[in-house]
Amino acid sequence: MEATTDACPYEIWECIFKLINGDNRTLEALSVVSKQFLYIINHVRCVVTISEQTIPFIPRLFQRFPHLTSLNLSLTSQEVDLDALLCQISTFSLDIKSLYISNPNYDIPEHGLRALSKKMKNLTSLTCSTMGFLRKDDIFLIADCFPLLEELNLTWVKNDCETLVKGDDDEDYRGHLLALPKLRKINLHGTVLDQQSVNYLCQNCELLQEVFAVLLLHMCTAFALLL
């Protein structure tokens, strides 16, 4: 197999592995075929999933894969300090563009997101799924930390629906609701908004193409808006 891989130019293998980037299981299997494959995969792999089991090996992971652009933090343990974990990740020189966070035992990690925002200024996609609780201030936090977001998913996050809806009476909240100039898609599945909130959202995000939420009319109904 070594002879076969050596006969093929580096650039060809690099293009092939980029096509299957994201399929971590396949890439791991291919990385043991030869030293050449291992070297190429380490440099083209851009997605890493971090679980409770891999947290102790984060420094090694980031050293092995220096060109990561996407992180998946799928956690379930109550013992994981999500803020501390994100602060640790922020100490590495990573140009992350997509971040997925999930931990049903943790609210939106304010300190961790602020730490990340100081280093990872090119984040364009943020997903906080199956989290503990979403507050009105978390909306401000996300917009303040990551102004270049193009996609935002806050799905299956517990929230105080009444607070989010009645918050529209707050003039400051009304004028700054997710003021993200580059936002194209937002998924607030499980969050209740009234029509006025949707209108302000569209005004503040001029490039917005898609909104998914629960629209409060005379009754709550599933709502998907394609602009």
Give the model confidence (pLDDT) of 200-215 as tens digits.
777 778 888 888 876 5
Who wins on pLDDT, 78 or 82?
82
Who wins on pLDDT, 13 or 77?
77
Decide if pLDDT at 19 tops 90.
no
**What are the structure tokens assigned to 102, written together?**
């999930």
pLDDT grade for 75, boundaries at 50, 70 and 90: very high
Q: Which of 73, 66, 71, 60 is nearest to 41 (CA)?
A: 66
**What are the structure tokens assigned to 35, written together?**
């030293």
pLDDT at 163: 40
**What are the structure tokens assigned to 214, written together?**
């629960």
Decide if pLDDT at 167 tops 90.
no
Whole-number Å distance between alpha carbons of 71 and 98 = 6
Who wins on pLDDT, 20 or 188?
188
Please give the order of strands across the beta sheet that includes 185-194.
Answer: 47-50, 70-74, 98-102, 125-129, 151-153, 185-194, 210-216, 220-226
pLDDT at 55: 95
End-to-end CA distance of the chain: 52
For the chain, percent of residues with pLDDT exceeding 90: 32
Q: Which of 161, 116, 163, 165 is nearest to 141 (CA)?
A: 116
pLDDT grade for 187, boundaries at 50, 70 and 90: confident
How high does pLDDT run on average in the chain? Answer: 77
Burial class of 157 by CB neighbour count within 10 A (0 to 12, 13 to 18, 19+): buried
Q: Which of 19-23, 26-30, 128-132 has the highest mean pLDDT?
A: 128-132
Give the angle subtended at the CA of 85 by the CAs of 77 and 179, to the nearest 5°.
105
pLDDT at 10: 63
Other beta carbons less than 10 A from residue 32's beta carbon: 10
Give the model confidence (pLDDT) of 94-109 as tens digits.
999 999 999 988 889 9
- Phi, psi torsion values for 224, nearest 5 degrees: -130, 125
Decide if pLDDT at 135 tops 60.
yes
Q: Which of 226, 119, 95, 123 is nearest to 180 (CA)?
A: 123
Decide if pLDDT at 184 tops 90.
yes
Decide if pLDDT at 150 tops 90.
yes
Which residues lie across from 214 on neighbouring strands? 192, 222
Who wins on pLDDT, 46 or 82?
82
Which amino acid is present at 84?
A: A
Ramachandran class of 160: left when φ > 0, alpha when ψ lies in -120 to 50, beta otherwise? beta
Decide if pLDDT at 118 tops 60.
yes
Who wins on pLDDT, 104 or 168?
104
Whole-number Å distance between alpha carbons of 47 and 30 = 16
